[in-house]
Every structure is written in C-alpha cells, then in structure tokens.
Amino acid sequence: MDKKCGVYICEGCGIGDAIDIKDLCAVPEEEGLPVKTHPFLCGKDGLKLIQKDIADGTNTLVIGACSRRVNYDVFKFDGCIVDRVNLREQVVWSHPRSEFPALTEEQKDDDEHFDKLLMLAEDYLKMGMAKVEKIDLPEPHVVDSLSKKILIIGGGVTGMSAALDAAKTGYEVTIIEKEATLGGHAAHWRKQLPPQPPYEELVSPMADSLIRDVEAEDNITVRTETVVARIAGEPGEFVVTLKKPGEKIEFDVPFPLPDEMKVDADGKDLDVDKQHEAYLKFNKGKNDILTIDPDGEMFGAVVLAAGWRPYEPEEGEFAHLGLGELPDVVTNTQFEAIAKKGKITRPSDGREAQSVVFIQSPGNGSDNDFDYAGSVTSMVALKQATYVREDYDEGKAYVFYQHMRTPGLHENFYKSIQQDPGIFLTKGEVVSVSKNGKGLVIEADNTLLGDKIKVKADMVVLGTGMIPATKDDPIINLAYRQGPGFRDNALFNDYADSNFICFPYETQRTGIYAAGGIRRALTVEESMEDASGAALKAIQCIESTNRGVSVHPRSGDMTFPDFFFQRCTQCKRCTEECPFGALDDDEKGTPKPNPTRCRRCGTCMGACPERIIGFADYNIDSIGSMVKSIGVPSEDDYDEPPMRILGLICENDAYPALDIAGLNRLSYSADVRFIPVRCLGSVNVIWIKDALSQGMDGVFLMGCKHGDDYQCHFVKGSELAEIRMKKIGDALQSLALENERVTQFEVSIDEYDKIPQLVNEFVEMVEDIGPNPFKGF
C-alpha cells in the first residue's frame, strides 16, 4: 500500500498546557509530514478533521494524544495504519512542569539547559513516525477447510453439559466416552450436592436427566467405548483419529522418547542421530505427526472433559488412619458406593454404621487436606454426613477438618447441614484411628473442643481427592512436535490448566478447552458452569479461526507470524520455545507453522537468532526503527547530556500499570523511553544491542511475574526473556559494557505505585555507572 502519512496532535487533557505544541509540530514538519493540532482531538470536530484527511487519501496516522488503551474505539479508522503516541499518560501526566521546568528564553540556546519534557514528547513522536513507516495492515489467515464441529472428550456430567450447551447454539457435537455408557461418576451416587439456589438441600444425581437430554438432541453424536488415537492439524481443521480403548493402530500418536532412553548403557547422552533412531524404534508402527490420517474426522475445536478418578492411596499411605488395616476405614468414594447400595453398613461385619467420622486432612504435622482435594471434598463430607442421619434416627456424623471450604452460596449448604443436631463439626488434626472392641476410636489434637479428644465410631471416611485423568495420560494425544499432552501440568498439581484465575478453560494448546474435574476438583454445579465456559471458548475458537483472527488472549488480532524461510537455519528454537506448540518441524528441522494454534505472542520472533520471523504490524524492523529514532544527546550537544534509557514494556500488565501511574500523576525520570511489546518473550536481543550500540545508557524489560505463580499471559514469555537477558551478559562484555546496564523487572498490573521507584532507581544506578562510551559515534 502507498502510505500517505499524517500526524495529529491533541492539545487537550493538559498536553497543550505543558508542552509548546509549535515546538512539537516541528518534528514531523522537519520530516516533511503534514501535522495538525486540535484542542480536543477525540471530540466531534477533532475526529472530523482526521476523517476529512482520510477522505483526501491519508491512510497512515500518527496520533499524539492519550494512551492507546483509552479511546481505542474512537481512534479506529478502517483501512488505515494507526499509531497512538502516548503524550498524555506517559508524558505530561507523569512529568509535571513543576519537576521538569520549561526553559526560559535565555536558556534556550545555551549548551547547558535542555527541556527534558519536550525531548520526551519529541522522541515518542519520532518513534511513532518511524514505526508506521515499517508496518503494514494485516491480512487474515484463512484456513483451507474449516470444520465447525466440536469434539468433546468425556461423557460425564461436564462433557454432556458442554455438548448440550454447544448443540443448543447450533453447533454439531460429538461426545466420545471410553466407558460403555454415559454418566461418569455422577451416575453412581446416592445424592448430589445442591446445584441451584438456595443451595440448601441435596438432590438426586442429575446424570440420568442429562443422558436423556443428550439422547434427545439431534446435534449430538455419542460414541461410547471410544478414545482419541491422535489429534492432528490445528484449530478449525483438527484431524482426529478415534479408536477403541486399548487398541493399537498406526495413527496412535508417537510419544517423545523417555529420558531414560536418551542415554547409553554408561549413562552418557546419546547424540542427536542416535536419539532419533531410538525415537523411531520407540514409536515403531506409528506414523509421524505430520502424516495426516486420510480417514480422520475433522473438528474445529475440542472440549476436554475427561474428568477424574478417585485417589488410590498407596499401601500403608494412611496407616495411621487405619486405611488398609481396619476394614471399616474407607475413602469417600467407597463410602458413596456403600451409601448408594442402601443403608450404611460396616464393610467388616455388615452391621449398621450409626456413628461415622469423616476426616478431611491426613495430618502428620501438616494441615493440608488430602492431595487433589478441594472445596468439593469438604462439601462431599457434609453430604455424606447427612446419609448417616437419613439412615439412622440415632445416627451421629463427625467431621474433622483443617479447612471447611464451602465457597460462595454453598455456605448455605454448610449452614443447613450445621443445623442437624446429630452432625458435629470441628477443626482439628486427627492423630490416629485404632480399633476399640468392635468399633473404632479416633484421636484428634488441637480441636475446637480442646487439645486432645477421642471419639468412638463405627466407621471412618477419609476425604481423599480427585485425580485428573491427565495426570499420567495425555488423553488428547496431540500430533504436535512438542508432545502429545500438556506441558507444565506439574505447576497446576497435575490438573490440565494454564492459569488459575485469568484464563479458565484455556489450556496451553489453542483449540483445546478443559472443563470439569480435569481442571480442578469440582462439584457437579461447578463442572456444569465450567462446561458452559469451555463450550463457549470452543465456539469462540471456531469463529475466530473462521474470521482469520487470534482467539485469545489477543482476541481479534489479525496478524500472525510470517517466516522468511530462505534464511532459516533449522535451529528449532522457535519450535521448542513456542509456549503453545504452534510449530511442528519436518525431518530437516524446518518449522511448519500452524497459524490457528498461534496466540500471536511473538515468542518465536524473540527466539529467532536469524530474525526471520515477524508480524505485519510488529516485527524486528519496526521496533528496531523505533529504537533508532530515539534521540541520544551526547557531549557534543550539551555539557552534561542526560541519560537515555530504553524500557521494553509488556503491554499486558506493565503498560497499563504505567498508564495508571500517569493517571495517578506519579512522576518518574524523563530520561526513559518506553516501547510496548506484545510479551517479553517477543523481545529480540538485537533491539537491546541496537540501543546500546547507538549510545543508550541502559535497557530494562518490564513484564509479568514468572515462576510457579506466573502471571505471564503467554505462560513462558517473561521466563524466556529472563533466560535470554542472562545470556546477553557475554555480548555486553565483548562491548566492554557493564552487565548491570540491562535488567528485567517483574510487575503486576496493580503495582503501578512501585513503577516510579523501579524506574528512578535504575536510572540512578546507570548514572552511577556513567554514560555509555559509544555515545556520539
């Protein structure tokens, strides 16, 4: 496209008061670009001004006004390249004239004084102008043969609910279930926790009515005794091979070589070729991931609702609680089965169990609940306590808990159970369960009733947890180079999840949405809510793919990574570092992009040493040009030139935090130039080298927290950036620059108040080191 550029500067919101707009206009004028100002650019007249220019052929706009995070709908012009220069939040609001005074007439032309605020605004305007020159309007990626069908793995409550939700909105759904019948665990319970307000009474399990609904729904196909052999392809055009459980077929997905097979008999690592040989041997009879099953069924998206299985304690694991030794000590799942059969009786002698103790924490000095437990196990204990009371007038049920978790309105359930005079609740650590004549005696410490108490009972029930099916089986069997299952499940206690709070249902694989017990220990009600969420996500995925845009978290982003393959060295870094497994590689190691798996974070772009990956509006050159357009004053300009520091800012949390700092009029150094990046993972080291070699004094990256409780919107981005920054030290030393000049900060969106201090301390630190010797060259 032939670009016709126009620059627009808003004087409102204090911009015109702090900066002499005429001075600022000189920047585009010098480049020969038309510039217009308006006292209220986002108002009707201001917009008219822009629209008139667009009608006259302007198609590339640099708008110097407020942050791009506000008024984004106002300054959106179809068919135009737009860059928003943040003069408000990151210039005038965060750099008051009281701290950064304007120059007097005498000061203007000496070599001693300079207007830091004006310099800041000028640089940002230059950066915007440089950027629009290097970017293009994106064109959507269109898939060849889009399927709008949704595959649901698991025919329990979650799977059936997701299927019904999706089917009712008009999508075709296939449920696969490995067992012979639908219903899952919920079909084998006596009663179910309350699914609706007022959340006080137990109900009959809903599995049966769901099965009837599923059978009556035309859009749903059910295939029982079926599992996934492999899911190949990408969202919108997944090619799925199904099989009977236990069957071995050529389209079973190849598994990565286990670690123990990567070494020879002496324990030394095998070389690459030998490993590949071993890999082929290990996966003998299975087709490579890139071989597409001609008989495979096409699906657009997948809901993973494979559920959970009851925790199976190892032998002697809870010996102090009598499990395995005393037949009347059972798990909650075993107790449910007993209760389903009829009146609660003891496994040992079939006698009535009139008094039952429910234990929620294994104790042994820790106050943790049983592994894989959650609020659901608390509530199941309350539910099962009522069984004892239902069955026997004289029944007594005791619940010993370290945590009684009844979230939200389930507090009503807790309250209603509490009212039963025969149900007794206390916090406390159960120390032992032992035999006492024909019954049991339970000893507990630190209870609400006192330090040490004993209770006699007929039976003991342990509130053991729910193991997600993905713990030791990939289930989804993806034909992805990174492997068939999810990565990093250990971070989420083996659950198939990607981030606890911000992105429910989204897994680390685009187009696969987890719901129900596989995602967390959940109740039926929570699982059904999950099912709706995952079904909606699956639909969103299909429709976004249909429009050629990104699904999430950059919803609607039309760009996708573009590879200049002629220069690819097959180093596989992009394939390996992509947090979403979007890239497969062929035998030679050339990456094969799968654009609809991609989330557009740019981690591949940051990883690529050859710098051959870029997006239409975000690439090595566009950011590099912005860096190069920053003015770096040297001693030739001023006696004591100010420092110039580059801040590469993650636009997910750090950039908004900076805006909030401005909104709160928190001021910080005017020597720093910020460039927003999609994710710290997309930061290519070349930008840092560019900045330093043109004389900038320091560079910092500011992004999300990583580690176990990571907040990175792209899972791995900030972690990878940190690794790359550590490695940059050698390069710095070769330039005889100090390592401290480059650093990385982790901030969360609510830490806006800490940002000024972080920035200022870094600037002071760099000032102490002294100016970059490359300045002025």
Partner 1 sequence: MADAYVVEPDVGFINEIKGLGGGDLKKCFQCATCSVACPIAPDNKPFPRKEMIAASWGLKDKLVGNGDIWLCHNCGDCSTLCPRGAKPGDVLSAIRAYAVIEYGPVKAIGKLINNPKMLPVVLGIPAVLFIVIGLITGLLDFTPEGDKIAHGHFFSTWLVDIMMIPAAIWTVANFAIGIKRFLGDMHRNALQDGKTDIQKIDPKGFIMGLVRVILPILKHDKFNECSENKDRATAHMMVLFGFIGLFIVTNIFFVALYGLQLHGPYSQLNPVKWLGNVAGISLIIGSLLMIKNRLAKKEDQVSSYKDWWLIIWALSLGVTGLLAEMTRLAGVAGLSYFIYFVHLMFVWSLFFFIAYSKLAHLVYRTMALGYNEYIGRQ
Q: How far is the CB of 396 from partner 1 (least distance, A)?
A: 6
Distance (Å, whole) CA 633 – CA 641:
6
Binding mask 384-413 for partner 1 (x = CB under 8 A): ----------x-x-----------------
**Residue 438 in the binding site for partner 1 (CB under 8 A):** no
Give the residue from 118, 70, 69 showing the smallest Cα distance to 95.
118
Q: How far is the CB of 320 from partner 1 (least distance, A)?
A: 15
* Closer CB to partner 1, 230 or 410, in the complex: 410
Residue environment code for 468-505, b if the CB has 16+ CB neighbours within 10 A, otherwise e:
bbbbeebbbbbbbbbbbbbbebebbbbbbbbbeeeebb
Rounded least distance, CB 190 to partner 1, Å: 23
Question: In the window 711-770, what residues touch partner 1 (CB under 8 A)?
Answer: none
Taking CB under 8 A as the rule, does residue 455 contact partner 1? yes
424 CB neighbour count, 10 Å cutoff: 16
End-to-end Cα distance, the chain: 35
Q: How is residue 744 annotated by DSSP?
A: E
Rounded least distance, CB 383 to partner 1, Å: 18
The rounded distance, in Å, linking the Cα atoms of 102 and 24 is: 13
Which phi and psi angles does 159 have, rounded to 5°? -60, -45
Interface with partner 1, residue 452, by CB under 8 A: yes
Q: Which is nearer to partner 1, 418 or 555 (CB)?
A: 418
267 binds partner 1 (CB under 8 A): no
**C-alpha to C-alpha distance for 633 and 640, rounded to whole angstroms:** 9
> If binding is defined by CB under 8 A, does position 450 make contact with partner 1?
yes
Q: Exposed, middle or buried, 246 (CB in 10 Å: 0-12/13-18/19+)?
A: exposed
CA-closest candidate to residue 191, choices 467, 371, 423, 391: 391
437 binds partner 1 (CB under 8 A): no
Which CA distances in Å does 625 have to 564, 620, 682, 743, 758? 19, 8, 16, 21, 26
Place of tokens 């971070």: 491
User: Minimum distance from CB of 234 to partner 1 (Å)?
Assistant: 51
Please pick, from the candidates 71, 219, 348, 426, the single residue that binds partner 1 as defined by CB under 8 A. 426
Q: Is 427 in the site for partner 1 (CB under 8 A)?
A: yes
**Cβ nearer to partner 1, comparing 200 with 740:** 200
Which of 188, 212, 276, 454 is in the footprint of partner 1 by CB under 8 A?
Answer: 454
The span from the CA of 558 to the CA of 600, in Å, is: 9
Closest distance of CB 319 from partner 1, Å: 20
* Of 363, 313, 319, the residue nearest 334 (C-alpha): 313
Residues 104-133 that bind partner 1 (CB under 8 A): none
Work out the angle at residue 382's Cα, subtended by the Cα atoms of residues 378 and 384, and round it to the nearest 5 degrees.
115
Which listed residue (443, 543, 738, 751) binds partner 1 by CB under 8 A?
443
Site size toward partner 1 (CB under 8 A) is 22
Q: Which stretch binds partner 1 (CB under 8 A): 31-39, 202-210, 343-351, 453-461?
A: 453-461
Check residue 55 for interaction with partner 1 (CB under 8 A).
Answer: no
Contact 279, 257 (CB under 8 A): yes
Contact 91, 37 (CB under 8 A): no
Tell me: does residue 451 bind partner 1 (CB under 8 A).
yes
- Tokens 């560079």: give the residue: 699
**Of residues 422 and 483, the one with the C-beta less far from partner 1:** 422
98 or 419: CB nearest partner 1: 419
Distance of closest approach, residue 117 Cβ to partner 1, in angstroms: 54
Give the count of beta carbons closer than 10 Å to the beta carbon of residue 72: 12
Cα–Cα distance, 690 to 700 (Å, whole number): 14
714: DSSP letter: T
List C-alpha distances in Å: 377 to 187, 360, 363, 767: 18, 8, 16, 57
With CB under 8 A as the contact rule, the residue among 181, 368, 418, 739 that binds partner 1 is 418
Cα separation, 359 vs 343, in Å, equals: 21
- Near partner 1 by CB under 8 A: residue from 449, 490, 502, 723: 449
Q: How far is the CB of 67 from partner 1 (least distance, A)?
A: 43
Minimum distance of partner 1 from residue 455's CB (angstroms): 5
Closest contact distance (angstroms) between CB of 390 and partner 1 is 15
Nearer to partner 1 (CB atom), residue 420 or residue 576: 420
Give the nearest distance from C-beta 415 to partner 1 in angstroms: 7
* Token output for 526: 């929570």
Dist. CA 767–CA 742, nearest whole Å: 13
**Of positions 74, 102, 453, 749, contacts partner 1 by CB under 8 A:** 453
Using the minimum distance from each CB to partner 1, give the nearer residue, 124 or 400: 400
Burial 685-720 (b: 16+ CB within 10 A, else e): bbbbbbbbebbbbbbbbbbbbbeeebbbbbbbbbbb
Kindly give, in sequence order, each residue whose CB lies less than 8 Å from that of residue 616, ignoring residues fewer than 6 positions away.
Answer: 135, 136, 137, 138, 139, 559, 562
Nearer to partner 1, 74 or 409 (CB): 409
Window of 176-184, 224-232, 419-427, 647-655 that interacts with partner 1 by CB under 8 A: 419-427
Please report whether residue 424 would count as binding partner 1 according to CB under 8 A.
yes
Tell whether residue 359 is a contact of partner 1 (CB under 8 A): no
Tell the smallest beta-carbon distance from residue 418 to partner 1 (Å).
Answer: 6
In whole angstroms, the minimum distance from the beta carbon of 348 to partner 1 comes to 22
For the window 636-675, what string marks contact with partner 1 as x by the rule CB under 8 A?
----------------------------------------
Q: How many CA atoms lie within 13 A of 589 on its CB side?
A: 11
Span of 279-287, 369-377, 444-452, 575-583 interacting with partner 1 by CB under 8 A: 444-452
Is 56 near partner 1 (CB under 8 A)?
Answer: no
Q: Which is nearer to partner 1, 102 or 453 (CB)?
A: 453
Q: Rounded to the nearest whole angstrom, what is the least distance from the CB of residue 770 to partner 1 in the complex? A: 59
**Contact region with partner 1 (CB under 8 A), list: 217-225, 288-296, 346-354, 442-450:** 442-450
DSSP code per residue over 137-163: -------SS----EEEE--SHHHHHHH
Single out the segment in contact with partner 1 by CB under 8 A; choices: 148-156, 258-266, 415-423, 467-475.
Answer: 415-423
Least gap, CB of 395 to partner 1 (angstroms): 9
Q: What is the DSSP string of 267-322?
A: SPBPPHHHHHHHHHHHTTT---TTSPPTTPEEESEEEE---EEE--PPTTTTGGGT
Cβ nearer to partner 1, comparing 355 with 669: 355
CA distance linking residue 615 with residue 634, whole number of Å? 34
| Shortest CB 452 distance to partner 1, Å | 4
Q: Which of 422, 548, 589, 729 binds partner 1 (CB under 8 A)?
A: 422
Q: Considering only residues 136, 225, 390, 420, which one is a binding residue for partner 1 as defined by CB under 8 A? A: 420
Check residue 180 for interaction with partner 1 (CB under 8 A). Answer: no
Where do contacts with partner 1 occur on this chain (CB under 8 A)? Answer: 394, 396, 414-415, 418-422, 424, 426-427, 443, 448-456
